[in-house]
Amino acid sequence: MSWRIGIVDYLNARPLSWAITQGAVPGLEPVPAVPSQLARWLVAGQIDAAIVSSIVALQEPQLGILPAAGCVSADGPVQSVAIFHHGPLAAVRRLAVDRSSVTSVALARILLRDLHGVAPELVSRPPDLAVMLADCDAALLIGDPALAAFVAAQHDARRPQPYDLGAAWRQWTGLPFVFAAWVAPRSCLEGELAALLRQARELSEPQIPAIAAAEAARLGLPLAVCLRYLRECVRFEFGARERAGFERFAELLTTLEDG
């Protein structure tokens, strides 16, 4: 049997999916797209599992996270999910967002509401910082564009500065934040598919040096930046602390939706 597996072309997901894209796990067919598109296909039953925003497993009761297959989380600064701004966050009235990750948008709203006392208007924009900030006070970037902007800001104080959502969450809750995970129908949380995705992770993680080298060239970033990011900023195990962080986010998400 061949399983259709949703893959995101982000640096931080490669240590979970590299083996699949290399054809190293027979029976898994990669289907690339952005997380929001993969979520729609997953809900519609057009793919069997996918690396998607963790919020999908909360919004769709028929779906769940595959713990052994791993996740993309941070237990501190993540660098690839950040609000870029010039002035104080408490003054943000319009926030430009890339809606390709609904989890990050929800997390940004929670942190801005509970830590900074603001509920800005959300404005959809392509993930281009200059375009996003043309008519908004701040911009939420995720994934590779966010990492590139984060690195650029470190070397130029005149650029919009990042408010790292992973760091803010860890400081506030003391827990990791699960940004994305392998998600599948609950009927597949155990069995062949779960075992194959765990195998994919076990084959992919040891390839982090090679992944970092290839992605550094693709993204135009220094190899050292990509290596440090994959080794120190993002984590791939869905353990007890990750589950606790995920459950805390679920509680806060309910208050956000109620508000």
Q: List Cβ neighbours of 59 (8 Å cut-off, separation of 6 or more).
A: none
Fold match between 3-73+176-221+233-250 and 81-173?
yes
**Domain 81-173, classified CATH 3.40.50.1360, yes or no:** no
Cα–Cα distance for residue pair 259/130, rounded to 1 Å: 31
Q: What is the pLDDT along the chain (259 residues), one digit of tens a residue?
A: 689 999 998 999 999 999 999 999 999 999 999 888 899 999 999 999 999 999 999 999 999 999 999 999 999 999 999 999 988 999 999 999 987 778 999 999 999 999 999 999 999 999 999 999 999 999 999 988 999 999 988 887 888 999 999 999 999 999 999 999 999 999 888 899 999 999 999 999 999 999 999 999 999 999 999 999 999 999 999 999 999 999 999 999 999 864 4
Homologous superfamily of 3-73+176-221+233-250 in CATH?
Answer: Periplasmic binding protein-like II (3.40.190.10)
Give residue for tokens 């942190």: 111
Domain boundaries defined on the chain: 3-73+176-221+233-250, 81-173
DSSP annotation of 235 reads B
> What six digits make up the tokens of 16?
């979970």
Instruction: Tell the burial category of 255 from Cβ atoms under 10 Å away from its Cβ (0-12, 13-18, 19+).
Output: exposed
Q: What is the pTM of this model?
A: 0.94
